[in-house]
Amino acid sequence: MKRITIYLSILAAGLSLSSCDGFLDQPAQGQMTEGDFLGNSNSAASLTNSIYATYREGSTYETTGSWIGDLCSDNALRGSSMSDGGGTIYNNGTNQFQNLSGLTGSSAFLNWLWLNAYTGIGRANTALRTIDTFEGLAPRQKEILQGEACFNRAWFYFVVLKLWGKGPIVPLETLSGAEQAALKISDRTALYDTIVADLQIALKMPDKAESAKWYPTSWYGRAHKGSAQGLLAKVLLYRAADDPANAMQYYQQIVQIVKDMESSTDGYDLIAVDNIFTKAGEYSVESVFEIGAASFTTSDGAYQGWQLLGTRGEPNWGWGYIAPSLNLVQSYEPGDKRKDNDIIYGKTTIYSGMVQTQSVIDGTTIIGAYSESDPNSVSNGYPNRFCRKGYQPRPVVGGNENYGGNIRMMRWAEVLLIGAEAAVRTGDAKASTWYNAVRTRAGLASKEPTLENIWEEKRIELSMERDRYFDLVRIDKMQPGYFAAKVWAKIQSEQQGLEEMKAQGLAPASTTLPLPPASPVVVPKNYVMPVPNEQILLMNNLKQNDGY
């Protein structure tokens, strides 16, 4: 079967929404309008395609998603230097997320994330309003398209819930700017209810085999029933932390969901560690939800994660903004196959003929960059460590953003660890099976599936995949002090590593770290991000989160 992935450049991106003076209005040049789709049966799939395009617009998930999901946790440090060509907005922004200090509603990154989430929600609403108008669609086709729209809407509402803990729930009908401004701001409970309701509809989507029937050449990159099941399990895991009185029923539901996925015709399984983030690993049996990419002569449709994570200069063309923390490096168990596939240093061979060359930042070679044995080396406080995930060979010359690796939004390994945690809570024997399946794939011996072990396993398995901060927040609600302790451990590890490098002459004696002298975590303030000021000005009922 020929694989034709949903690429951003193929999509005509999104739909412009009605009105031009509300927070939902994010039209783009050259995009199709809702009227272009009405009554046109050939455009039914394109209507839902526009929703998928949202994940890539503005590099939202590769850049700002990493800065929050990784930098705000114990997994990463900001890399590069303050004189980096990204400019003040990037350099100050990354420091603020890393140190959880100085974050305000004026953050451009947070505003991008808000706009991206509500653009996706708006496009899903447009699809749901319009699908019934298409002629010549079989009832099952309409059900599938509606399921895809509901799945993606649920995903974007979950982003809103995790980042801000509140937000407007947008009705299906078209709204004027004044009506948008007057929308009620919903709390966590209402957002959870909306997300779960959408995912119940999305469960009517087909499995992968039936998807291939309806989309014989282009179903890759679309959500399917397993995507909805996986996301529902994750949502319920978060809800259990926010609603402890009803947590047990959520855990029981999660265990059943994972069992259903395990026995489904999709045949979910774990693939070899060194294949997960390669071209060969795209749309594999481990993929639960995946956004496609292609390497073109421009960056359209490409994965830009390597631009964010990689070192500067040919042949890498990266920024090196997100660096694995020393604490993360030291947390891999001996023999863990994931370590070499997750983390690289200077002069590391990535693919045959492709070497991670010297780590040069603004013309300065980072100390120790030529030796893989110096992972602690720093220059001006910035580490000689880089993330290996997300890199793909760049076959097309031109542009520094056109790496063709897909974004793995959810993998079977994550679902197994979600299930394992819930199974521990319910006393189900599957806890050991699911937890140790992930460890076995990594080349590690079996261990007892305690909550702490599962949380740490998930940290390693999903390292640098934009998730750790949110998991720390979730865990801290059940085990107070966990978040602050983990971030402080990161800071202490870096300080100790720097002193060791100074003692070995691998860092100037004057080198300091751009890190706070104590854990910067403030609870519950840092459970959420500040609401973008621009959105507060647009909405009558939207208020800033406490502490910001």
pLDDT at 319: 66
Q: What is the pLDDT of residue 406?
A: 82
The least confident of 397-406, 514-523, 527-536 is: 397-406
Contact 315, 357 (CB under 8 A): yes
Q: Look at residue 158 in the predicted model and tell me its pLDDT.
A: 98
pLDDT digits (tens, 9 = 90+) for 410-433: 999 999 999 999 999 999 999 999
The percentage of residues in the chain with a pLDDT greater than 90, rounded to a whole number, is 55
**Location of structure tokens 């994570």:** 309
* pLDDT given for residue 453 in this prediction: 99
Q: What is the 3-state secondary structure (H, E, C) of 414-430?
A: HHHHHHHHHHHHHCCCH
DSSP state at residue 183: P
Mean per-residue pLDDT for 252-277? 97
Confidence tier at 90 by pLDDT (50, 70, 90): low
- For the segment 23-40, the average pLDDT, to the nearest whole number, is 41
Average pLDDT, the chain: 81
What is the per-residue pLDDT across 445-502, written as a single tens digit (0 to 9) for each?
999 999 999 999 999 999 999 999 999 999 999 999 999 999 999 999 988 888 887 8
* Average pLDDT estimate for 231-254: 99
Instruction: Give the Å distances, CA to CA, from 114 to 61, 224, 271, 532.
Output: 12, 25, 34, 8
Strand partners, 137: none
Between 65-79, 161-175, 419-433, the lowest mean confidence (pLDDT) is in 65-79
Which residues contact residue 239 at a Cβ distance below 8 angstroms, ignoring those fewer than 6 apart?
192, 250
Q: Is the pLDDT of residue 173 over 50?
A: yes
Of 76-80, 197-201, 524-528, the one with minimum mean pLDDT is 76-80
What band does 6 get if pLDDT is binned at 50, 70 and 90? Answer: very low
Lowest mean pLDDT among 24-28, 132-136, 195-199, 388-392: 24-28
90-99, 128-137, 368-377: which has the minimum mean pLDDT?
Answer: 368-377
Measured CA to CA, the distance from residue 269 to residue 295 in angstroms comes to 27
Q: 29-33, 71-75, 321-325: which range is least confident on average?
A: 29-33
pLDDT at residue 1, rounded to an integer? 30
pLDDT, greater one: 95 or 12: 95
Number of residues that make up the chain:
548
Model pTM greater than 0.85?
Answer: yes
DSSP of 200-262: HHHTTS--HHHHHHHSTTT-TTS--HHHHHHHHHHHHHHHHHH-GGGHHHHHHHHHHHHHHHH
Residue 247: pLDDT band (50, 70, 90) is very high
Distance CA 35, CA 478 (A): 48
* Confidence at residue 19, expressed as pLDDT on a 0 to 100 scale: 34
Backbone φ, ψ for residue 290 (5° rounding): -145, 135
d(CA 325, CA 348): 18
Q: Quickly state the pLDDT bin for 94 (edges 50, 70, 90).
A: confident
User: Which range in 75-84, 286-295, 438-447 is most confidently predicted, on average pLDDT?
Assistant: 438-447
Band (pLDDT 50/70/90 cuts) for residue 29 is very low
Give residue 473's pLDDT.
Answer: 99
Q: What pLDDT is recorded for position 515?
A: 86
Model pLDDT, residue 527: 99
pLDDT tens per residue across span 281-327: 999 999 999 988 765 555 544 455 556 666 554 555 566 677 889 89
pLDDT band at 357 (very low <50, low <70, confident <90, very high): very low
Q: How much is the pLDDT for 306?
A: 58
Average pLDDT of span 124-135 = 90
Whole-number pLDDT of residue 375: 47
Least confident interval from 32-36, 297-301, 535-539: 32-36
The least confident of 1-5, 220-224, 230-234, 351-355 is: 1-5
Assess contact for 286 and 208: CB atoms under 8 A: no
Q: What is the pLDDT of residues 324-352, one digit of tens each?
A: 898 999 999 999 999 988 887 655 544 44
Residue 12 has pLDDT above 70, yes or no: no
